[in-house]
Structure 1
Amino acid sequence: MKQLSGGQKTVVALTLIFAIQRCDPAPFYLFDEIDAPLDPQYRTAVGNMIRRLADVANTQFITTTFRPELVKVADKIYGVTHKNRVSHVHVVSEEAALDFIEHDQTHSA
Structure 2
Amino acid sequence: MKKGDTDQGGDDEEGSQSQEVPLVEQFTGVGIKVSFSGNRAEMRDMQQLSGGQKSLVALTLIFAIQKCDPAPFYLFDEIDQALDAQHRKAVADMIHELCQDAQFITTTFRPELLEHADKFYGVKFRNKVSHIDCVSYEEAQDFVEDDTTHG
TM-score (norm 2): 0.68
Query: Greater relative contact order: 1 or 2 (C-alpha under 8 angstroms, separation 6 or more)?
Result: 1
Q: Does 1:8 find its partner at 2:61?
A: no
1:71 aligned residue (73, 95, 114) = 114
Alignment correspondent of 1:38: 83
Specify the code of the residue in structure 2 equivalent to 1:71. L
User: What residue ranges of structure 1 are gaps of 5+ in the alignment?
Assistant: none
d(CA) in 1 for partners of 2:57, 2:146:
31
TM-score (norm 1): 0.93
Q: 1:30-78: CA deviations, max 9, x gaps?
A: 00100011110110010011011002x2x00000000000011111110
Structure showing greater radius of gyration is 2
> What is the CA RMSD across the aligned residues, in angstroms?
0.9
How many residues align structurally?
Answer: 106
Percent sequence identity over aligned pairs: 67
Counting helix residues as a fraction of each chain, which structure ranks higher? 1
Q: Secondary structure at 2:82's aligned position in 1? A: coil
User: What residue ranges of structure 2 are gaps of 5+ in the alignment?
Assistant: 1-45
Q: Tell me which stretches of 4 or more aligned residues in structure 1 moved more than 2 Å.
A: none
Report the CA distance between 1:86 and its aligned residue. Answer: 1.4
Q: 1:70-91: CA deviations, max 9, x gaps?
A: 0111111100011122111111
1:88 aligned residue (131, 134, 143) = 131
d(CA) in 1 for partners of 2:90, 2:148:
21
1:97 aligned residue (132, 137, 140) = 140
